[in-house]
Amino acid sequence: MPARSGDITAGTAGTAHARTALDALPPEKHSLTLRLLMTEVEQS
């Protein structure tokens, strides 16, 4: 939402935080839905 509202700094920081959290999960917790959502967020 911050990126869509024009706050690129907050959007970038939020995306980086989400990526770090996803990468910290064990591989068996990386669901297809979670990966697709992360891809969609990174592309916005």
pLDDT digits (tens, 9 = 90+) for 1-42: 555 666 666 667 778 888 888 889 898 888 888 888 888 877
User: Token pair of 15, please?
Assistant: 């995306």
pLDDT on residue 28:
87
CA 36, 1, 44, 10 dihedral sign is: negative
pLDDT for residue 19: 85
Domain boundaries, the chain: 8-43
**pTM for the full model?**
0.57
SS (H, E, C) 8-44: HHHHHHHHHHHHHHHHHCCHHHCCHHHHHHHHHHHHC
Residue 10, pLDDT score? 62
User: What are all long-range contacts of 5-10, with beta carbons under 8 Å and residues at least 24 apart?
Assistant: none
